[in-house]
Amino acid sequence: MFKIEYFERVKEFFTSSRVVKLSFLISFTLLLTAIVSVQNFFFQGIIENGISKKDIIAQKTLVVEDVKRTEQQKREMAQKVEPILVPAEDTFIRSNLETLQNSILQIRKKDKTEKEKIEELNILFDLSGNPKKDFILDFLLNVDDTSLKEAFDKASLSLVNILQAGITEKDFEKSNIQKLIQEHMVSDVSKRQIAVIPAMLEQVIVPNLVVDDTATEIARLNAMDSVKPYKVTFQKGEKIVFEGEPVTRLKRDALREAGYNVYELNWQGILSVYILILFITIVFLAYIKFFERDYLEGRYLSFAAMLAIITSGIAVLLPTGFTPYILPVPLVIIAAAIFLSPRIAFILTSMLLIILSIGMQYDIQFLIIFTILALIGMITVSKIRYTRRFDLIRVGFNLGVAGVLIMLSLYFIDKCLIDVSNYLILKNCICIFCNGIVSSIVALGLSPLLESTFHIITPYGLAELGDHNQPLLKRLQIEAPGTYHHSLMVSTLCEAAAEAIGANPILARVGAFYHDIGKLKRPLFFVENQSYFSIENPHNSLNPRLSKMVITAHPKDGVDLAKEYGLPSIINDFILQHHGEGIAKYFYNQAVQEEGAENVKEEQFRYLGPKPNRKETAILMIADAVESAVRAMKGATVDEIENIIDKIIVERLNDGQLADSPLTLKDIKIIASTFSRILRGMQHDRIKYQENIADEFKNKIEMSNKVLDEDFEKKVNELKEAKNKNELKNENNDKD
- Three-state DSSP at 149 gives helix
Whether the CA torsion 198, 199, 201, 207 is positive or negative: it is positive
Instruction: Using the predicted structure, report yes or no on whether residue 40 has a pLDDT greater than 70.
Output: no
Higher-pLDDT residue of 115 and 358 is 358
Sequence spans of domains, the chain = 85-211, 267-456, 493-682, 692-728
Instruction: Using the predicted structure, report yes or no on whether residue 208 has a pLDDT greater than 70.
Output: no
pLDDT tens, residue by residue, 236-273: 777 777 776 777 777 777 776 666 656 555 677 778 88
Best CA proximity match to 579, nearest among 613, 604, 612: 612
Instruction: Using the predicted structure, report yes or no on whether residue 736 has a pLDDT greater than 50.
Output: no
Q: What is the pLDDT of residue 598?
A: 86
Question: Which band of pLDDT confidence, cut at 50, 70 and 90, is reported for residue 599?
Answer: confident
Distance CA 313, CA 39 (A): 11
Distance CA 424, CA 222 (A): 28
Give the number of other Cβ atoms within 10 Å of residue 366's Cβ. Answer: 20
> DSSP string spanning 38-84?
TTHHHHHTTEETTEESS-EE-SS-EEEE-HHHHHHHHHHHHHHSPPP
Q: What is the pLDDT of residue 11?
A: 54
> DSSP string spanning 224-263?
HHTSPP-EEEE-TT-EEE-TT-B--HHHHHHHHHTT---P
Distance CA 179, CA 187 (A): 15
Q: Are 148 and 125 in contact (CB under 8 A)?
A: no
Q: Any bridge partners for residue 65, and if so which?
A: 231
Q: Are 250 and 68 in contact (CB under 8 A)?
A: yes
Give the number of other Cβ atoms within 10 Å of residue 429's Cβ. Answer: 18
Average per-residue pLDDT in the chain? 80
Q: What is the pLDDT of residue 684?
A: 53
Mean pLDDT, range 35-51, rounded to an integer: 64
Q: What is the pLDDT of residue 672?
A: 95
Instruction: Using the predicted structure, report yes or no on whether residue 536 has a pLDDT greater than 70.
Output: yes
Q: What is the pLDDT of residue 669?
A: 95
Instruction: Using the predicted structure, report yes or no on whether residue 12 has a pLDDT greater than 60.
Output: no
Instruction: Using the predicted structure, report yes or no on whether residue 6 has a pLDDT greater than 60.
Output: no
Best CA proximity match to 506, nearest among 681, 668, 388: 388
pLDDT tens, residue by residue, 279-309: 999 999 999 999 988 888 888 999 999 999 9
Q: What is the pLDDT of residue 233?
A: 76
Mean pLDDT, range 382-408, rounded to an integer: 87
Instruction: Using the predicted structure, report yes or no on whether residue 46 has a pLDDT greater than 80.
Output: no
Mean pLDDT, range 447-465, rounded to an integer: 87
pLDDT tens, residue by residue, 396-433: 999 999 999 999 888 887 766 556 677 878 888 999 99
Whether the CA torsion 10, 14, 16, 18 is positive or negative: it is positive
Question: Which band of pLDDT confidence, cut at 50, 70 and 90, is reported for residue 726?
Answer: low
Distance CA 356, CA 456 (A): 27
Higher-pLDDT residue of 649 and 79 is 649
Mean pLDDT, range 593-613, rounded to an integer: 88
Instruction: Using the predicted structure, report yes or no on whether residue 509 has a pLDDT greater than 90.
Output: yes
Give the list of residues 6+ apart from residue 574 with CB closer than 8 angstroms, or none: 511, 512, 514, 515, 616, 617, 620
Q: Find the range with the poorest average confidence among 43-57, 79-93, 651-665.
A: 43-57
Q: What is the pLDDT of residue 29?
A: 92
Q: Are 570 and 614 in contact (CB under 8 A)?
A: no
Query: Residue 582, exposed/middle/buried by CB under 10 A (0-12, 13-18, 19+)?
Result: buried
Q: Any bridge partners for residue 86, and if so which?
A: 210
Instruction: Using the predicted structure, report yes or no on whether residue 441 has a pLDDT greater than 90.
Output: yes
Q: What is the pLDDT of residue 563?
A: 92
Q: What is the pTM of this model?
A: 0.63
pLDDT tens, residue by residue, 665-707: 999 999 999 999 998 877 655 555 455 545 554 565 566 555 5
Torsion, Cα of 494, 500, 502, 507 (10° steps): 20
pLDDT tens, residue by residue, 116-136: 777 777 777 766 667 777 777
Q: Any bridge partners for residue 85, and if so which?
A: 211
Q: Are 575 and 583 in contact (CB under 8 A)?
A: no
- C-alpha separations of 86 from 80, 627, 694 in Å: 19, 86, 109
pLDDT tens, residue by residue, 323-338: 889 999 999 999 999 9
pLDDT tens, residue by residue, 474-502: 999 999 999 999 999 999 999 999 999 98
Q: Which helix (H) or strand (E) holds 86?
A: strand 85-87
| Phi-psi label, residue 368: left if phi above 0, alpha if psi -120 to 50, beta otherwise | alpha
- Percent of the chain scoring above 90 in pLDDT: 34
Torsion, Cα of 704, 709, 710, 713 (10° steps): 160
Instruction: Using the predicted structure, report yes or no on whether residue 80 has a pLDDT greater than 60.
Output: yes
Domain 267-456 has CATH 1.10.287: no
Q: What is the pLDDT of residue 337?
A: 93
